[in-house]
Structure 1
C-alpha cells in the first residue's frame, strides 16, 4: 500500500507496526473504560450492576488479547493460578459433602450457581486487570495510565463532593439503581456524627478505598495541577469519614517510608507534602462537613472516639465484632469451606436473611480455603513488595514510594473491610508487579504515552 493512502497517524510507520499501534490504542481505551467502570458501584443497567458489566468487558478484552497477541503473564500470576486452582478444588470438593445451595440465606440476591460463579468471576477479573495493565506498561503507556488514574480520581472526588451537598440540600443527583449492600434500596444517611460522602458508590467506605490509588498517584503528577488533584481527593476522602480509608493511607505511607530511607530529603518532602495536603483538607472539611450535633464535624474527635475503644478492648469493640467473634470461636481451618460457601456458613451462624461479608480478605480466604490458601495469598501479596523494596531505585524514584504506599494501604484495608480483591486493586497490583520486575520494556518505543 502506498504511504500516501495511509492514515496520517500511521504515515511513515512500517506496516508491521500498524497492527501493534492499533492494539495499543484499543488497549488504552479499554483500560479507560474499565477503570471508570470500577467507580460506578451505585449503578446498574437493568438487573446487571455496572461493575459486573465492567468485569465481563475486561475479561473479553483480555481474552482477545491473549488469543491474538500472546500477552505475557505478569509476575505473581503463577502463584495466583495455584491459589485459584486450590480454591476450586476445595469449593467443589465441599459441594460433594454438604448442600450449600439449600443453606443459602432466603433473601440472597442470586441463586446459588450464579452466586458461586460471581465469586470466581471476581478472582478472574483480578487476574485480567493485572494482565491488561502489565501489558500496557510493557508497551510504554505508563504515563498515559497514571494520568488517567489521577484525572478519574479527581473527577470522581469532585462528583462525590457535589453529591454530598445534593443529598443534604435536596439537589438533583443521578438515580441510584443498584441494590444496597444491606438489601433493598441504597442507604444515603448513616448513624454518624456528620453526613458522609459516598459519591458514585454504595457506601462511604467503598469510595474511600477506591480513592487510595488515585490519591497517591497524584503525588507523582508533574506541574502545579497536582495540588488541585491531591486537594480535591483529600477533601472527598475526609468527607467519607471512613476510618478504614484514612488509617489505610496513614499506615501505607508509614510502611512505604520505612522500607525506603525515611530520613532522605525526598522521603521527608513526600511526608511533608501529604501532611500539608491533609492539613488543608482538614480545614476545608471543617467548612464543608454537615454535622448532626454540637461539634459533630470535628473529624479528629470522631476518629478518636472510634479508635480508642478498639485499642483498649480489641476489635470486639468495633462494628466488625460479630465477624471477629465468629472467627475466634472456630478452630483454625486447614482446608476451608470453599469460595462463597464460607459466607453462607457465616450468614447461617449470625441468623442473617441476606448474604454476609467477612469484612476482611484474610478472614474470607482463611475460612474459604484454609491455612493452605491463606499462605498462597500472602505469598502473592508479598511478591511485589519484596521485589520493589530490594531495588536501589525504590529509594531514588519519587514516584515509587507513593505507589508502594497505596499498595500497603490496601493490604491494611483488606484486614477490616474488603473481603475480595477488587478490580481496582488488580490495577494497582499490575503497576507494582511491573515496577518490581524492573520495568520490562520501559524503553521500547520511547515511552510512547509520554511523548
Structure 2
C-alpha cells in the first residue's frame, strides 16, 4: 500500500509540474496547466480516503492567510458592479473562481511535499522534480531550433488572454525561445527554479552538471532579463552571505554564475533573426518589417541584437538609466496605487485585476492624430507583480502577512549551514525576485520551495 501511495502522490506533484510546463497547449479548450491544477486539487480528498494526515502547525500561517484571501474575495465579489472586459474568455464568476483555485493549488503544492516526504528523502523529491525541468527544457530547445533547422514546431493550441496567440515568426524580429509556453518570459520564470536544484544535485552526482546545460541554454535563449538577472543575483547574494559566514569560498556556488555568463556569450552563435519582408510589402506593413536596420529606440535595438549577452545586459543598463519609467508597466502600477490610496482589505482576487484593467486603459492611452488610441483595449491586464497582486487583492494586511511567510522561510535557510538549504535559499530568492517583474500568482514552484524548507522543522 505504501508503494502505491508514494507513486500516487509523487505522480500528482510531477504531473502538475509537467502540465504547467506545457503552458501553450490545451485540449477541448482546457489548458494543460489547469488540468495539472485540477490533479493537485484531488490530492487532499485522496489523502483523507487513504487516512493520511500531515496537517501540522507548519501550515497554520499559510492556511489562515489563504482563508483570509478567500473571505475578502467572496465578500467583495458580492458587491462588485463592473463588467468583465470585452475580450475575457470567461465570465466574472468563472474568472474569480479560477483565481481562487490557483491560490489553493499553491497551498496544496506545499502540503504535497510534506506528504511525499513520508516516503522519500528530500534529495529524492528534488531529483524527481528536477527531471521535469530537464524534460521541458529539452522540448523547448527543440522548438527553438525548429525555426531555422526546418523541422516542425509544436502546434500551440492555447490562445492568449485576449483570445489570440502571439506570433513567433515576425519579420526582422530576433527569435526568442518560446518553447512550450505562450511567451518567452513565461518559459524563463518557469525554468529558473530548476537550475538551483540541478546544481544542488550536481554536488554529489556529476551527471547533473551535464544535464544543467539544458535549462540554462533554454533560459538564456528566452533573452529574459527578469529570469537571467534574478537567477544571477540570487546566486551572487547567497554566495556572498556564505562567504561572510563561513569565511571560505564555496567555488561550486560560482559554477552556475559562470555557466550562465558563458552560455550567454557562446549562444550568440545560434541566434537567429527572421528575414525581412519584400520591400513591396511596406506599406501596408511598417518600414521596420522590410528594413531590419530600423529600430524604434536604443531599447528596441538592444532587444533585437544578435549578441545575446549584449541583448540581456545592455537592456539592463538602459532600463536602470531610465529609472522606474523603464520597467514595463511599473509607472502605471504606481499611479494606480497613488490614485487608490492605502487599501487595508483589498478588492479580492480577480476583481482587483478588472478594476486595474479599466484604469490601465486610460493611463496607457495615447493621443495619435487627434484620436485616442488604447494599448490593451478590452483585455484583462495583469499586475505582473506578485506583491502588487496580493496588495490590491487582499490589502495591506494580506501583503504584510504574505511577506512574513516568505521572508521567514528565506531567513531560515539563509541562516542554516546545511548545503541543501543554501540551494533552497537560492531557489526561493530567485523566485521572489522574479515576482517583482513577471507573473502575479503564487506558483507551484513557490509552493514546492516553501514546502521543502518547511521539512527542516520536522
- In the alignment, structure 1 residue 218 sits paired with structure 2 residue 227: no
The CA deviation string for residues 374-422 of structure 1, in whole angstroms up to 9 with x for no partner, is 011111112321222333x33xx2x332221011011111111111012
Asked if structure 1 preserves the Cα contact closer than 8 Å seen for 2:383 and 2:389, the reply is yes
User: 1:246 and 1:74, CA in 2 relative to 1: closer, same or farther beyond 3 A?
Assistant: farther
1:78-89 residue pairs with structure 2 within 5 A?
78-89=60-71
Distance in 2 between residues matched to 1:94 and 1:405, nearest whole Å: 37
Displacement, 1:354?
A: 1.4
Tell me what 1:299 maps to: 308
Distance in 1 between residues matched to 2:222 and 2:52, nearest whole Å: 42
Tell me what 2:368 maps to: none
Distance in 2 between residues matched to 1:118 and 1:415, nearest whole Å: 22
Asked if structure 2 preserves the Cα contact closer than 8 Å seen for 1:39 and 1:210, the reply is yes
TM-score of the two chains, using structure 2 as the length reference: 0.84
Counterpart selection for 1:38 from 5, 14, 20:
20
1:419-434 residue pairs with structure 2 within 5 A?
419-434=440-455
Displacement, 1:77?
A: 2.6
Distance in 2 between residues matched to 1:193 and 1:296, nearest whole Å: 9
Asked if structure 2 preserves the Cα contact closer than 8 Å seen for 1:74 and 1:134, the reply is no
Distance in 2 between residues matched to 1:48 and 1:283, nearest whole Å: 39
Runs of 4+ in structure 1 displaced over 6 angstroms?
190-193
SS at match of 1:197: coil
Counterpart selection for 1:311 from 320, 341, 366:
320
- In the alignment, structure 1 residue 248 sits paired with structure 2 residue 269: no
- In the alignment, structure 1 residue 158 sits paired with structure 2 residue 138: yes
Displacement, 1:141?
A: 3.6
Displacement, 1:209?
A: 1.1
Asked if structure 2 preserves the Cα contact closer than 8 Å seen for 1:179 and 1:185, the reply is yes
Which segment is superposed worse, 205-214 or 279-288? 279-288
Tell me what 2:354 maps to: 344
Distance in 1 between residues matched to 2:351 and 2:94, nearest whole Å: 13
Tell me what 1:375 maps to: 400
The CA deviation string for residues 129-148 of structure 1, in whole angstroms up to 9 with x for no partner, is 11111221243343332222
- In the alignment, structure 1 residue 358 sits paired with structure 2 residue 358: no
Asked if structure 2 preserves the Cα contact closer than 8 Å seen for 1:178 and 1:186, the reply is no
Distance in 1 between residues matched to 2:47 and 2:172, nearest whole Å: 46
The alignment covers a number of residue pairs equal to 413
- In the alignment, structure 1 residue 132 sits paired with structure 2 residue 107: no
SS at match of 2:436: helix
Counterpart selection for 2:343 from 333, 337, 343:
333
The CA deviation string for residues 68-100 of structure 1, in whole angstroms up to 9 with x for no partner, is 333313665321222222222222322343314
Displacement, 1:182?
A: 4.4
Displacement, 1:216?
A: 1.0
Displacement, 1:319?
A: 2.1
User: 1:368 and 1:189, CA in 2 relative to 1: closer, same or farther beyond 3 A?
Assistant: farther
Asked if structure 2 preserves the Cα contact closer than 8 Å seen for 1:254 and 1:405, the reply is no
Asked if structure 1 preserves the Cα contact closer than 8 Å seen for 2:88 and 2:161, the reply is no
SS at match of 2:42: helix
Query: RCO (CA 8 Å, sep 6+): is it higher in 1 or 2?
Result: 1
Displacement, 1:176?
A: 0.5
Which segment is superposed worse, 48-57 or 33-42? 33-42
Tell me what 1:14 maps to: none
Asked if structure 1 preserves the Cα contact closer than 8 Å seen for 2:88 and 2:379, the reply is yes
Asked if structure 2 preserves the Cα contact closer than 8 Å seen for 1:230 and 1:277, the reply is no
Asked if structure 2 preserves the Cα contact closer than 8 Å seen for 1:253 and 1:405, the reply is yes
Counterpart selection for 2:431 from 403, 406, 410:
410
Q: Which segments of 5 or more consecutive residues in structure 2 lack a partner in the other structure?
A: 275-291, 294-303, 362-376
Asked if structure 2 preserves the Cα contact closer than 8 Å seen for 1:74 and 1:433, the reply is no
Counterpart selection for 2:239 from 250, 257, 268:
257
Asked if structure 1 preserves the Cα contact closer than 8 Å seen for 2:232 and 2:257, the reply is no
Tell me what 1:401 maps to: 422
Distance in 1 between residues matched to 2:269 and 2:105, nearest whole Å: 40
Q: Which segments of 5 or more consecutive residues in structure 1 lack a partner in the other structure?
A: 1-18, 441-451
Distance in 2 between residues matched to 1:86 and 1:404, nearest whole Å: 27
User: 1:284 and 1:225, CA in 2 relative to 1: closer, same or farther beyond 3 A?
Assistant: farther
